[in-house]
């Protein structure tokens, strides 16, 4: 069965530093999509970045980049130059077929 | 577009009462998903529709839960009768057909059953 694993329940990072949030996935399909979402304390789900399984380049969106290692089935999110507003819950998700499956999330706290 | 619209934003009800959550997806989106978020279980997919047809309801916890999508612009999730363990945030999300498309989430409905 498809599965997303986020092994870091919580992370701290100093403001202006970079941080990596881990995500591994399990699927037997060749075609799939990987997503990261941010959920601030206000509760909404904000889409950050997408990586397709056939994309050869790692996805980047501003300060967010996705370190995609297909052979290892990992899709880590890298946030560069952390800001206080980055403090939130971060979810890794996979679209396998029609469904979006989410990991348990990592709570990131950015320290001033 | 206004995005995915859910109502109500907050609902407090007594155990045993019927609760109906509503969702208006983004126009043109073919897929609609209902998720439940709790601290213990994270984000669980309850059911999803494609072109108004329920495709997979294997995540619906029990017969007390039902979902409908009478047309492309409206869906409901009903709990009857409600129980305290149903307390959670319920999200509706929609997405168009095609790979590489993220799910667009509504603001969620925070349900409290007392």
CA-based radius of gyration for chain B: 13
- Closest-CA residue of B relative to A49 is B102
Q: Which of A37, A99, A104, A105 to mutate to test the interface with B (most CBs of B within 10 A)?
A: A99
Kindly give, in sequence order, each residue whose CB lies less than 8 Å from that of residue A62, ignoring residues fewer than 6 positions away.
none
Which tokens belong to A61? 């969106």
> What percent of chain B is predicted at pLDDT more than 90?
89
Mean pLDDT of chain A: 95
Give mean pLDDT, residues A8-36: 95
Interatomic CA distance for residues A105 and A21, integer angstroms: 9
pLDDT class of B99 with cuts at 50, 70, 90:
low
Contact A98 B55 (CB under 8 A): yes
Contact A102 B55 (CB under 8 A): no
Contact A33 B99 (CB under 8 A): yes
Residues of B in contact with A98 (CB under 8 A): 31, 48, 50, 55-56
Long-range CB contact pairs, A75-78, < 8 A, 24+: A75/A23, A75/A24, A75/A25, A75/A34, A75/A36, A75/A51, A76/A20, A76/A21, A76/A22, A76/A23, A77/A20, A77/A21, A77/A23, A77/A36, A77/A48, A77/A49, A78/A18, A78/A19, A78/A20, A78/A21
Q: Confirm or reject contact between B12 and chain A (CB < 8 A).
A: no
Check whether the bond before B8 is cis (ω within 30° of 0). yes
Q: Which of B10, B30, B59, B102 to mutate to test the interface with A (most CBs of A within 10 A)?
A: B102
Question: Cα distance from B105 to chain A (closest Cα, Å)?
Answer: 6
Contact A47 B102 (CB under 8 A): yes
- pLDDT tens digit sequence for B31-49: 999 999 999 889 999 999 9
Q: Which of B103, B104, B108, B111 to mutate to test the interface with A (most CBs of A within 10 A)?
A: B103
Interatomic CA distance for residues A106 and B103, integer angstroms: 19
Partner residue opposite A99 with nearest CB, options B42, B45, B91: B45
- pLDDT tens digit sequence for A56-96: 899 999 999 999 999 999 999 999 999 999 999 999 999 97
pLDDT at B100 over 80: no
């Amino acid at each position: 069965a498809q599965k997303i694993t986020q092994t870091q329940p919580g992370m701290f990072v100093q403001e202006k530093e970079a941080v990596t949030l881990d995500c591994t996935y399990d699927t037997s399909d060749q075609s799939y999509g990987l997503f990261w979402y941010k959920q601030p304390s206000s509760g909404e789900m904000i889409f950050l970045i997408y990586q397709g399984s056939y994309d050869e380049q790692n996805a980047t969106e501003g300060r967010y980049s996705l370190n995609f290692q297909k052979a290892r089935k990992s899709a880590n999110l890298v946030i560069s130059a952390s800001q206080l507003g980055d403090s939130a819950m971060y979810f890794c998700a996979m679209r396998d077929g029609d469904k979006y499956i989410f990991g348990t999330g990592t709570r990131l706290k950015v320290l001033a | 577009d206004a995005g995915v619209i859910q109502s109500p934003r907050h609902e407090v009800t007594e155990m045993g009462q019927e609760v109906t959550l509503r969702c208006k997806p983004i126009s043109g989106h073919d897929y609609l998903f209902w998720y439940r978020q709790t601290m213990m279980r994270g984000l669980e997919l309850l059911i999803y529709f494609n072109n108004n047809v329920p495709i997979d309801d294997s995540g619906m916890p029990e017969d007390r839960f039902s979902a409908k999508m009478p047309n492309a612009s409206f869906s409901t999730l009903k709990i009857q009768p409600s129980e305290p363990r149903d307390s959670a945030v319920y999200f509706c999300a929609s997405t168009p057909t095609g790979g590489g498309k993220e799910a667009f989430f509504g603001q969620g409905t925070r349900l409290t059953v007392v």
